[in-house]
Amino acid sequence: MTTPAPKAQPTTPFPDGFVFGTATAAYQIEGAAREDGRGPSIWDTFSHTPGRVAHGDTGDVACDHYHRMDADLDLMAELGVDSYRFSISWPRIVPSGRGRTAQAGLDFYRRLADGLRERGIRPLATLYHWDLPQALQGAGGWDARATAAAFADYAGVVGEALGDRIDRWTTLNEPWCSAFLGHGSGVHAPGITDPVIALRAAHHLNLAHGLALQALRAVVPSGAEYSVSLNLQAIRPDDPDSAEDRDAARCLDALANRVFTGPMLDGAYPQDLLDDTASVTDWSFVQDDDVAAIHQPLDALGINFYSTSRVRRWDGTGSSNHSAGHNQSAASPWPGAESVQMLPQPGPYTDMGWNIDPSGLHELIMRMHREHPELALMVTENGAAYPDELSVEGGERRVHDPERIDYLRRHLEVVLQTIAEGADVRGYYAWSFMDNFEWAYGYDKRFGLVHVDFDTLERTPKDSARWYSRVARSRMLPA
Ligand code: GCO
């Protein structure tokens, strides 16, 4: 009989060395889209295409972080976080995707890394958070194998220039979204809806990850740590006693999770994934040594978590309701899963319409711990959008966001619980440091700890920022 794990108390301190961080991504905050030699990315093209993004919003200005970096870092230092996860904009460094590099772009991230270190905040750099240089899209984008090699070259350039001051690297952010929202449902850039391309893109992203790790390790001083951030999905069968519903969950688990963890962590694509998608593709785009190239050692796995999914076997009548859950859409992003129906989840919901269920985070952390006990884990994104209201009280600007505090607290309680149960969870990054460009939703959805007025660009820490600051400084959840 196994002894039940002790129940973590909210007053249990987080372990020594546990990292409290916040996260952002380049296109969502930087603005300065045409400055200092930056080339256009697929998100510039997509956001400037009418009908793609709510209200026609673009990242042209975003939070104007490119020009306000120092003030933003001061604000971050006031929060007392240990680490900041940001992304490097590929088209700012290599404007055409391959070839000539832009020194000004490298200088910006050098100043960012130095500014963080001066303030005692450890940088964690993501190399790809969806802003593929448009010139590469013109040459096929993630549908083209050569994009993986171009990514490795870019990783080498960045590692060479910044490896002396950044020692935590993430290759890709949420390749599921790049592959399946970008090429399956088409709600993200480049807006393609083709199941074969979606699967090929997934493979080329995997290959890019493996080649980039090799390129980084060749130039970055030893001792650096490497990871990838996956939006692993907690997929539950509607009726756990139904073999058909369990099989539907297995099918989506392969397409959402194991299509990445298979080659990256286990060194093989799962057979059931190949079987399920056989009517779509024979996977002949996977060449002989690809999986070995993808299967590189990792120091940590980043998990991005927001909500859960529920599925059942579908007889093809009615709507398959693919709109449920995090970052999914009305058109199906799931190639080969025509007989799977996504079901609406019970609430409560955030402003995204995503259900709140921290048990999904518990499930995913414990699963990864079980399957890869040697792998350190980090929650590299977790957070909630709410329609925040700014008020002025006694001359002071305030944003009261108790729901967001509750969301963060409940997920941090789960993190403590998984640590008590033996999982090696090293850190937690709240998404996001500040309100920003929420992809197809534009500026409508606010995930920040810090409020941004998108007319004046004024920043106001929300109550959740004060709360998170207490957590980061005291290393425990306040009673
Ligand atoms: C993602 C991205 C972030 C999002 C966040 C909220 O998960 O989609 O990594 O860029 O803004 O997740 O949707």
Return d(Cα 149, Cα 155) in angstroms, integer: 10
How much distance in Å is there from the Cα of 174 to the middle of ligand 1? 8
Measured torsion, CA atoms of residues 295, 299, 305, 310, in degrees rounded to the nearest 10:
40
Report pLDDT for 12: 87
pLDDT bin (cut points 50, 70, 90) of residue 315 is confident
Task: Decide the pairing of beta strands 390-393 and 396-399.
Answer: antiparallel
pLDDT at 328: 43
Tell me which residue of 204, 92, 207, 70 sits closest to 158, measured CA to CA: 92
Q: What is the mean pLDDT of the chain?
A: 95
Helix boundaries (H) for 334-384:
359-371
pLDDT band at residue 326, thresholds of 50, 70 and 90? very low
The predicted model gives 333-356 an average pLDDT of 94
Going by alpha carbons, the residue nearest to atom 8 of ligand 1 is 327
CA 396 to ligand 1 center in whole angstroms: 30
pLDDT by residue (tens digit) across 439-451? 999 999 999 999 9
Measure the CA–CA gap between 305 and 339, rounded to whole angstroms. 25
Residues recognised as catalytic: 174, 381
Which SS3 state, helix, strand or coil, does residue 121 take? coil
Residues within a 6 A CB radius of ligand 1: 25, 28, 173-174, 177, 231, 304, 327, 381, 431, 438, 447
Among 89, 127, 233, 381, name the best residue to mutate to test ligand 1's pocket (greatest count of ligand atoms within 8 A of Cβ).
381
Rounded CA separation 153/148 (Å): 9
What average pLDDT does the segment 27-42 reach? 98
Kindly write down the DSSP assignment for every residue of 153-207, as one continuous string. Answer: HHHHHHHHHHTTT--EEEEEE-HHIIIIIHHTS--STT----HHHHHHHHHHHHH
410 backbone dihedrals φ, ψ, rounded to 5°: -65, -35
SS3 397: strand
436 CA: nearest ligand 1 atom = 11
* DSSP secondary structure letter of residue 1: -
CA 329 – CA 309 distance, rounded (Å): 13
Tell whether the model's pLDDT for residue 3 goes beyond 70: no
Q: What is the pLDDT of residues 66-103, one digit of tens each?
A: 999 999 999 999 999 999 999 999 999 999 999 999 99
Give the per-residue pLDDT at 9. 66
Which band of pLDDT confidence, cut at 50, 70 and 90, is reported for residue 323? very low
Residues 6+ apart with CB under 8 A from 98: 135, 136, 150, 153, 154
Domains within the chain, CATH numbers bracketed: 19-474 (3.20.20.80)
Residue 10 pLDDT greater than 70, yes or no: no
Query: Per-residue pLDDT tens for 170-227?
Result: 999 999 999 999 999 999 999 999 999 999 999 999 999 999 999 999 999 999 999 9
Q: Which tokens sit at 476?
A: 């425990």
Looking at the predicted structure, is the pLDDT value of residue 324 above 50? no
* Predicted local distance difference test score (pLDDT) of residue 479: 84
